[in-house]
Amino acid sequence: MKKKFSVSSLRIRLFVVIVVSFLFSLLIYFFLSQISNKYVYSVYMSQDRIDARNEENFAEFREYVQEHKLKVSDTKDVSGWVRGRRHIYLAVYDGMDILYEFGVYANEPVYSQNHAAMDSVYTSVPGEPTYQYILDPSDTMQVAFADGSYTVTIIDFSEEFILRLSKTAALLLSLVLFLLIVLSYAGRISTRISKLAKEVKQIETRDINAPVTVSGKDELAELGRDIDSMRREIINRLEREQEVWRANKDLITYMAHDIRNPLTALTGYLNLIKEKEYTDEAERDRFLDIAIGNAEQLRKLSNNLFEYFYVFAHPEKNVPTEVYDAALLIGQLVAEHTVLLSDNGFRFVIENVIAEGRMISVDAVRLKCIFDNIFSNIEKYAYKSEPVSIRVCEADSCIRIVIANAVDIHADRCKSSGIGLLACAKTASEMNCCFTWDKSGDVFGVTVDIPVFCQEGER
């Protein structure tokens, strides 16, 4: 299956961040370059600043010559002064003839072809074309050497160094800005990954109920949702295991008494018959009837036990259901049992207030099993002198069936283990129904809630 293209993809976002960062950094570079150029040409290269630098350079050179009592032929000392100033061009003239030059653009000096007019300097750099620098009057001055006065030209090219330095600084700043933006985005991704890993570690080691942060629509968000889904699935499985464990514990508690008593009685009466400890045939038959009754009770308990284990060991999440008329189906299920029990001495008060046309979606076989269990308990434990109340009505968008009966006090000898009720509750839940029971004094009641089925478009 092809993965859907999404602008929320981390790869797409990273590409966008890199492109935007590059363009933004490029814009900053050009902006800073323009600022530096404007400063150099408008401020640093103003005539006042140029004159001030020239005066300072000539004053320093004149002082240096006088201090060291240099002759014009002391080129080594002169070049030493120039080497201490990387952006200075110095030339010494004797009249109209250039004697020597040092500094910037003096690596391969090209002497003036017209010595009669000392108004310009031809300069060149290896690999670059020669160009002409027009001398300004402030660029030349007479300097008194130890052996005479000579014309000295000093030109300050420091603006080129400033321009190169400013461009380099702008480039570095733009690069740093680019890296900061990209690394900031990468840091956010790394923080999300670390947070997700920390939450997974917390779930693994300490708290399965710890929340997993899910934000956004990218791959990390999808991973977070998958982890959270897995966490919820683990919780559901653990709850399922705990439910089974509690159910088994309840089963053991219920069955311990219900099996032990009839089994003890069955063994006792069979031993009496075996040892012939009865007075006559009638008493023997009575012992046999009691033993058979206890055996039947054990058989019913075993059937309930198998039913319980089947329901809880084979849960079905999507039980196939069909749509039925609520009044018709429920009326039929109730009638099947009330007719038989009425012949056995039970009385019923039935109230059915379901509106016509109400539909329910259930598995009729499973619903019949629930009713079979309810009326089986009525037959075993209900007090015949009191009528059994059956009310069918609508409540909270459900069809509610409430069945209540008085409990026969003599039925305590075969007290219910509750296994059938647990099985009914589980069966009902598989059909999205609800089965509950309650005992208040001598009255026992069960309630079955079945959601009303709505056609598409109905409310």
Instruction: Over range 358-372, report the average pLDDT.
Output: 89
Q: Burial of 9 by CB count in 10 Å (0-12 exposed, 13-18 middle, 19+ buried)?
A: middle
Written as one string, the DSSP assignment of 341-389 is HHHTT--EEEEE-PPTT-EEEE-HHHHHHHHHHHHHHHHHHB-TTSPEE
- The answer to whether residues 85 and 232 belong to one domain is no
**Do 302 and 332 share a domain, yes or no?**
no
- With respect to residue 4, please indicate whether it lies within any of the assigned structural domains: no
The residue among 315, 333, 349 that closes a domain is 315
* pLDDT digits 0-9 by tens, 133-179: 555 666 788 999 998 899 999 888 888 888 899 999 999 999 999 99
Top-confidence residue, 226 or 323: 323
Same domain (yes/no): 302, 444: no
Residue 3 placed within a domain: no
Instruction: For residue 204, tell me if it sits in a domain.
Output: no
List, for residues 7-36, the tens digit of each pLDDT value.
457 788 888 889 999 999 999 999 999 999
- Among 280, 300, 315, the domain boundary falls at 315
What is the total count of domains within the chain? 4
Does 206 map to a domain?
no
- Residue 138's pLDDT is what? 63
Do 142 and 128 belong together in one domain?
A: yes
Q: How far apart are CA 91 and CA 106, in angstroms?
A: 9
Question: Is 96 in the same domain as 235?
Answer: no
* Same domain? 28 vs 51: no
Element (H, E) at 34: helix 10-39
Residues 309 and 326 in one domain: no
Same-domain pairing of 441 and 345: yes
What is the pLDDT, as a whole number, of residue 125?
Answer: 43
188 with 285, same domain: the answer is: no
Looking at the structure, tell me whether residues 29 and 139 fall in a common domain. no
What is the predicted pLDDT for the residue at 8?
A: 58
The verdict on 76 and 180 lying in the same domain is: no
Is 24 domain-assigned?
yes
Per the structure, the complete domain to which residue 216 belongs is given by: 211-315
Indicate whether this model's pTM tops 0.85.
Answer: no
Q: What is the CATH number of the domain that holds 307?
A: 1.10.287
What pLDDT, on a 0 to 100 scale, did the predictor assign at position 178?
93
Q: Does a structural domain hold residue 417?
A: yes
